[in-house]
């Protein structure tokens, strides 16, 4: 790591009065956790989970001081694993990175070799982090939808929370694959971007939020990628066409799911849970390959707002208050 053995990072500390404070500082490499692979980070990204970690949410991070960042892309600096050599360009997302293991908001990470994925040639390090966990989750969701037989010609596909990181990339991936995409969002300012990403129609949140107790609603959607959860997810399940499927990957709208079994036993509805953090390595690598090749879309750069460690803090506040659109890319250069 160099003679001085120090690196810059965004460090979150817990103060004596129980508050949490983030600052850009330098730390010693011997403070990094154990692991076989040391990576020189080029880019990270900002996700909602990172903002929770940076503000001390105990469901995400319990040990402080801490460096958040559930995503990282860069080059291997040192390796004790035969699978990785110095100079290899790699991606690390999920597992415990950025939660209780120091993460991507530092110039270096040290992780187990099993967490590391080789960057596909079709993506640059920058592009891989515009995607990040959000893009990987959207890719896993589309993989699940296709695996369950929902084809592009079966009807409209709705994406909820479409202005967010996962939602906006899901819109682009589905449109690239030929689906008729309906984007649901409460942000009028995001409409031009969603149209550019391929949304055929844009609807408000109220169109996918039915508060009635009806066990079934009129059939509307061939499938869905839902980033919201709660009543929105329940509304979509009740609105699926026969043999439709929804990939559920978010919970910003709540964790309760007010449903009966009727959509499942009368229409054959399929509810698929998507877990990106502990996804098996083989599928993880396969989805990244798809994102680099046939699923890669032209408007990727349009999603990115680039910041550095020094300008990261205001973006953390914005994402906590639902004020971001697309993706926030964190550059270490």
Looking at the domain assignment, is residue 289 inside a domain?
no
Q: Which region, left, alpha or beta, applies to residue 247 given φ > 0 means left and ψ of -120 to 50 means alpha?
A: beta
Record the tokens describing residue 239, joined without a space. 């609105």
How much of the chain is helix, strand and coil, in % rounded to 5?
Answer: 30, 30, 40
What domain count does the chain have?
A: 2
The b-or-e profile of 96-115 (16+ CB within 10 A means b, else e) is bbbbebbbbbbbbbbbbeeb
| The pLDDT of residue 3 | 41
Q: Are residues 97 and 193 in the same domain?
A: no
Record the tokens describing residue 271, joined without a space. 């509810």
Looking at the domain assignment, is residue 282 inside a domain?
no
Phi, psi of 182 (to 5 degrees): -110, 120
| The pLDDT of residue 1 | 55
Sheet strands side by side (includes 240-248):
201-203, 180-184, 156-159, 221-226, 240-248, 270-273
Alpha-carbon span 161 to 204, nearest angstrom: 10
Measured CA angle at 56 (ends 62, 307), to 5 deg: 120
Looking at the domain assignment, is residue 290 inside a domain?
no
Check: CB of residue 90 under 8 Å from CB of residue 58: no
Local mean pLDDT, 10-residue blocks, the chain (333 residues): 77 92 95 97 97 94 96 98 98 97 98 98 98 98 96 97 96 98 96 97 96 96 98 98 97 93 98 96 97 96 96 96 93 91
Q: Are residues 141 and 245 in the same domain?
A: yes
Give the chain's end-to-end CA distance (angstroms, integer): 16
Alpha-carbon span 227 to 183, nearest angstrom: 12
Q: Are residues 70 and 198 in the same domain?
A: no
How confident is the prediction for the chain on average, in pLDDT? 96
Q: What is the pLDDT of residues 261-310, one digit of tens each?
A: 999 999 999 999 999 999 999 999 999 999 999 999 999 999 999 999 99
Q: Are residues 268 and 164 in the same domain?
A: yes
Q: Using the 3D structure, point to which of 273, 288, 313 is the last residue of a domain.
A: 273
Q: Are residues 90 and 173 in the same domain?
A: no
How does strand 156-159 pair with strand 180-184? parallel
Looking at the domain assignment, is residue 50 inside a domain?
yes
Q: Are residues 93 and 222 in the same domain?
A: no
Alpha-carbon span 326 to 45, nearest angstrom: 11
Q: Using the 3D structure, point to which of 255, 273, 291 is the last residue of a domain.
A: 273
Q: Are residues 96 and 167 in the same domain?
A: no
Looking at the domain assignment, is residue 267 inside a domain?
yes
Q: Are residues 166 and 224 in the same domain?
A: yes
- CATH number, position 222: 3.40.50.720
Whole-prediction pTM:
0.95
Q: Using the 3D structure, point to which of 273, 290, 311 is the last residue of a domain.
A: 273
Looking at the domain assignment, is residue 280 inside a domain?
no
| The pLDDT of residue 4 | 54
* DSSP secondary structure of 185-223: -S-GGGHHHHHHHT-SEEE-GGGG---S--S-----EEE
Looking at the domain assignment, is residue 286 inside a domain?
no
- CATH number, position 94: 3.90.180.10
Per DSSP, 101 falls in state B
Looking at the domain assignment, is residue 278 inside a domain?
no
Alpha-carbon span 165 to 138, nearest angstrom: 9
- Domain of 185, in residue numbers: 132-273
Q: Are residues 140 and 17 in the same domain?
A: no
Q: Are residues 87 and 160 in the same domain?
A: no
Measured CA angle at 150 (ends 149, 152), to 5 deg: 130
Nearest residue to 169 via CA among 37, 301, 264: 301
Q: Are residues 148 and 255 in the same domain?
A: yes
Q: Are residues 146 and 74 in the same domain?
A: no
| The pLDDT of residue 173 | 98
Phi, psi of 328 (to 5 degrees): -105, 115
């Amino acid at each position: 790591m160099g003679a001085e053995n120090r690196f810059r990072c965004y460090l979150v500390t817990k103060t004596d009065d129980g508050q949490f404070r983030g600052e850009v500082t330098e730390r010693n490499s011997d403070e990094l956790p154990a692991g076989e692979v040391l990576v020189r980070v080029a880019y990270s990204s900002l996700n909602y989970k990172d903002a929770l970690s940076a503000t001390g949410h105990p469901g995400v991070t319990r040990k402080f001081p801490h460096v958040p960042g559930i995503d990282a892309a860069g080059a291997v600096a040192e390796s004790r694993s035969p699978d990785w050599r110095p100079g290899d360009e790699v991606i690390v997302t999920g597992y415990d990175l950025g939660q209780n293991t120091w993460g991507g908001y530092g110039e270096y990470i040290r992780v187990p070799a099993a967490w590391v994925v080789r960057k596909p040639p079709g993506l640059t390090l920058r592009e891989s982090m515009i995607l990040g966990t959000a893009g990987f989750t959207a890719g896993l969701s589309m993989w699940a939808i296709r695996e369950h037989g929902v084809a592009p010609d079966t009807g409209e596909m709705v994406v909820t929370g479409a202005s967010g990181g996962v939602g906006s990339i899901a819109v682009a991936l589905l449109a690239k694959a030929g689906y008729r995409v309906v984007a649901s969002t409460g942000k009028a300012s995001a409409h031009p971007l969603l149209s550019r990403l391929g949304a055929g129609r844009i609807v408000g949140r109220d169109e996918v939020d039915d508060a009635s107790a009806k066990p079934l609603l009129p059939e509307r959607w061939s499938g869905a990628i839902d980033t919201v959860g709660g009543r929105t997810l329940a509304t979509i399940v009740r609105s699926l066409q026969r043999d439709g499927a929804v990939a559920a990957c978010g919970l910003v709208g709540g964790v309760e799911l007010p449903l009966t079994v009727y959509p499942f036993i009368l229409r054959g509805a399929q509810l698929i849970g998507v877990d990106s953090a502990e996804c098996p390595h083989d599928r993880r690598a396969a989805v990244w390959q798809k994102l680099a090749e046939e699923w890669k879309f032209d408007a990727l750069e349009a999603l990115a707002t680039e910041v550095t460690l020094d300008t990261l803090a205001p973006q953390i506040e914005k994402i906590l208050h639902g004020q971001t659109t697309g993706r926030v890319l964190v550059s270490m250069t």
